[in-house]
Structure 1
Amino acid sequence: MKNTFLRVFLVVLFSNMVVVAIGLGVVDFVEDRNQVSADVLGDIGVSLVSTYEKSGTSALQEQARRFEKQLQGSIFIYQENGRPLLRPLPRNFRDSTNLSDPVGAEEAQASADARRSQFIQVIGASNTQYLLVFRPQDKSDAISPWAIALLSLLGLLVSSGILAYWLMGPLLKLQKITRSFGQGEMSARVDHRLVQRNDAIGNLAREFNEMAGRIETLLSSKERLLRDVSHELRTPLARIEVALTIAEDKHGQPAQQNYLVRIRNELHELDELIGQVLTLSRLEAASMQKGTIELQPWLTDIVDDVQFESQLRGIAITKTGDLPKALHGDPVQLRHAVENVLRNACFYSGEGGAVEVSSSEVDKQAIISIKDNGPGVADDMLEKIFHAFFRSSSARESNSGGFGVGLTIAKRIVQAHNGEIQAFNRPEGGLEVRFCLPLA
């Protein structure tokens, strides 16, 4: 987005500079058009030279003053030998008594005055040549051209920045709202100030709000369906289990008893799946009971519990790191997420495997990493393992007996804490699952 802002800023700045350049060209053209006609100056020059040759300098000066008042400028006349008849031109075409500029500035001003002045050659009696110089009256204040250029450039920069921000500001707001919506905040909407705009940005804001409303409605319907179906399924399951208990009490044949045991195991698995689906649907809408968590004792307690469960398989779990000290979140839900990932790591590490749990603090985030030495996951499936009911064809999933919901639940819990969960294949083998949770 920063690159986009810079591009818009440069385009606006270039456009403004082109407009200013065209404006200056038009002004210069108009000034040239406002100059006194050469024919008029020629007639004035002939009249002044004739007066000088007939009546002398005094009459010439009186007539020249009348013409200067009429033309609103200054008239200078030189004979062919360089002698001025009225008054000599100052070095820089300006009154030298009003100047305190250095020589370089005088020469620059002389060039400007020479460009604005008009020069007419007049032929007098006996083919005597005279030079008439007419300089229009300077109507502007004595401001340095460099100062004008600097102020113009500063104005262009400020106006271009304001215009670029005016164009990009709404897009930045839309980007922020879109990011929040994409991270699971279903109530995120564009504020009314953008929605009420009668332009393309306003249309985009209104369409986004309509889209977000439809998506929220669809997700809510899906969650209600999951909850309703899960609750309805548990009722016949309960009746089947009662009937199964009665059948077991009848002491049937051994072959029948084996079938009954198999039915009970399948019922338990189905009941567990329904329980996980209910948990997943509740996480979509339920608010977290957040508070301050003493992270290190809390994490040590989780490691000890899972280590106790895995001791018969000879799995060693090591914990490293002593930062951060505290975390703001729901201790029960976060424990469920971390335990789920840690149990998976122990399962896939196999007999005598090793699992490492580490914690650190980076950029005001708590980082909890769980590393195992199992078979890992195909690189193209690292993101998919967090999808509900996804089961890869790799060794990590083929015989797990799971339902593909545990990592999805862990991800929803982490997202409810405005955090992230990611999986990486370790170079030395195995999988690393990393929790990134913002600190309070």
Structure 2
Amino acid sequence: MKNTFLRVFLVVLFSNMIVVAIGLGVVDFVEDRDQVSADVLGDIGVSLVSTYEKSGTSALQEQARQYEQQLQGSIFIYQENGRPLLRPLPRNFREQSSIDSDTESKEDQKASADARRSQFIQVIGASNVQYLLVFRPQDNNDAISPWAIALLSLLGLFVSSGILAYWLMGPLLKLQRITRSFGQGDMTARVDDRLVKRNDAIGNLAREFNEMAGRIETLLSSKERLLRDVSHELRTPLARIEVALTIAEDKHGMPTQQSYLDRIRNELHELDELIGQVLTLSRLEAASMQKGEIDVQVWLGDIVADVQFESQLRGITIEKTGDLPKTLHGDSVQLRHAVENVLRNACFYSGEGCKVEVCSKEVDKRAVISIKDNGPGVADEMLEKIFHAFFRSSSARESNSGGFGVGLTIAKRIVQAHNGEIQAFNRPEGGLEVSFCLPLTGK
């Protein structure tokens, strides 16, 4: 977003600079053109020379003062021998080309500017006597330096461009924050009324976002409610079927009938477990986590101890290694569910008398928890697919598992809700390694 703000700022700034440059060029052109016409000065020169030749210097000075008031400038007249008839020009009045720019004083700069602004007219008097009329516009001591004007203009451009860029980007920054909050699970996030009431494209975008967010919230709520209702309706007949099975078993049926009843009971239990896993998966999609600080080593030790207790009859040993990281920010219950799920799978596929490793370490300010088993592993082309819902990797790993392919999907959703990653690798020595990578908040 910072890059976008900078781009908008530069575009607005350059656009304003181009407009101002064109405006200054036009003003400069008009100022250059805003001079007394040479024809007018020629007529004035002829009139002044005629007055001088007929009435002398006094009449010339009087008439010159009238023209100076009219033209708002100073008039100088020289005879062809260089003698001034009114008053001499300033001694430092000279052309710019004759001044060394490195050693030019302020007075020289002013005189040079006067020379550039002044107009020179040659006048022919009686008996073909030549005169030179010099008209110098009136000095404006209150005028601001062109450099000062340029600096003030640039300052105004920067300020106005910054304000305009922020005016354009400010609402977008607010929309970005609201969108991020909504994407992280806050279904109540909405754009405030000040943006919604704007009658422009940004206001339209804000209104459409609120409408979209409302529809999504409604759909997710309806989905969660539907799954909850369906699970309730499914579990009710399942409970009745199990009661009927119990009654049928009490009737001391034939051995062949008993085997069928046992099979039906097992299928009922699996169906009930599947319903529970689907509900868990839907809640992970719709609900936000209850996050807090987790003492990683104590928390991980409890998980290992519980699964070790469950697996002791099969002679499986779970070895925990590593003492980092110390703390982790997350939902301890949901993360425990994810790690337990993977650890139980590892124990199941390792076989009796095998060892499962649980390693924890810290890499680039991220917690890495790896679970390694000695089972048959997974085909390389299916390592990504095992995290898809209801996907079964192979007969080697799941032919007798009774699993539904939902456990790893649930673990992945939990990890993603913590801005982390979960990956699976085949170990060179055999077996599968599943790694949880989660961001840290402290040590």
Question: What TM-score does the superposition give when structure 1 sets the normalisation length?
Answer: 0.83
CA contact (8 A) 1:244 1:264 kept: yes
Distance across 2 between alignment mates of 1:42 and 1:6: 57
User: What is the RMSD of the two structures over their aligned residues, measured on CA atoms?
Assistant: 3.5
CA contact (8 A) 2:17 2:157 kept: yes
Determine if the alignment matches structure 1 residue 372 to structure 2 residue 354.
no
Determine if the alignment matches structure 1 residue 432 to structure 2 residue 442.
no
Identity %: 74
Distance across 2 between alignment mates of 1:428 and 1:143: 80
Report the equivalent of 2:60. 60
Report the equivalent of 1:17. 17
Q: Deviations over 1:327-385 (max 9, x none)?
A: 4554333322332243345556677465343243866xx62433536746868974x76
Report the equivalent of 2:267. 266
Distance change >3 Å, CA 424–CA 289, structure 1 → 2: closer
Correspondence 1:263-342 to 2 at 5 A? 263-283=264-284, 292-310=293-311, 312=314, 314=316, 316-325=318-327, 327=328, 329-342=330-343
Correspondence 1:11-410 to 2 at 5 A? 11-85=11-85, 86-89=87-90, 91=92, 103=104, 105-106=106-107, 108-139=109-140, 141=142, 143-283=144-284, 292-310=293-311, 312=314, 314=316, 316-325=318-327, 327=328, 329-347=330-348, 352=354, 354-360=356-362, 367-372=367-372, 375=377, 382=384, 389-391=389-391, 393=393, 399=399, 401-410=402-411
Task: Give the AA of the match of 2:322.
Answer: T
Distance across 2 between alignment mates of 1:133 and 1:313: 117
Distance across 1 between alignment mates of 2:114 and 2:212: 66
CA contact (8 A) 1:324 1:360 kept: no
CA contact (8 A) 2:119 2:134 kept: yes
Distance across 2 between alignment mates of 1:259 and 1:247: 11
CA contact (8 A) 2:185 2:288 kept: no
Task: Give the AA of the match of 1:332.
Answer: V
Structure 1 residue 226: Cα displacement: 0.3
Distance change >3 Å, CA 209–CA 316, structure 1 → 2: same
Determine if the alignment matches structure 1 residue 422 to structure 2 residue 425.
no
Distance across 2 between alignment mates of 1:258 and 1:228: 33
Structure 1 residue 220: Cα displacement: 0.8
Task: Give the AA of the match of 1:169.
Answer: G
Q: Deviations over 1:77-131 (max 9, x none)?
A: 344454444221453689xxxxxx9725555545544443333222223333333
Structure 1 residue 9: Cα displacement: 1.7
CA contact (8 A) 2:325 2:360 kept: no
CA contact (8 A) 1:38 1:120 kept: yes
CA contact (8 A) 1:346 1:355 kept: no
Distance across 2 between alignment mates of 1:22 and 1:412: 59
The number of aligned residues is 427
Report the equivalent of 1:5. 5
Secondary structure at 1:103's aligned position in 2? coil
Bigger shift: residues 234-243 or 404-413: 404-413
Structure 1 residue 241: Cα displacement: 1.0
Structure 1 residue 51: Cα displacement: 2.9
Bigger shift: residues 76-85 or 179-188: 76-85
Report the equivalent of 2:99. none
Distance across 1 between alignment mates of 2:122 and 2:347: 105
Structure 1 residue 411: Cα displacement: 4.9
Unmatched 5+ stretches in structure 2:
96-101
Secondary structure at 2:23's aligned position in 1? helix
Distance across 1 between alignment mates of 2:60 and 2:371: 105
Bigger shift: residues 338-347 or 147-156: 338-347
Distance change >3 Å, CA 433–CA 62, structure 1 → 2: same
CA contact (8 A) 1:376 1:425 kept: no
CA contact (8 A) 1:119 1:134 kept: yes
Secondary structure at 1:367's aligned position in 2? strand
CA contact (8 A) 2:270 2:402 kept: no
Distance across 2 between alignment mates of 1:310 and 1:107: 101
Structure 1 residue 40: Cα displacement: 1.5
Distance across 2 between alignment mates of 1:350 and 1:81: 124
Secondary structure at 2:420's aligned position in 1? strand
Distance across 1 between alignment mates of 2:61 and 2:350: 112
Structure 1 residue 232: Cα displacement: 0.8
Structure 1 residue 242: Cα displacement: 1.2
Structure 1 residue 415: Cα displacement: 6.2
Distance across 1 between alignment mates of 2:135 and 2:427: 90
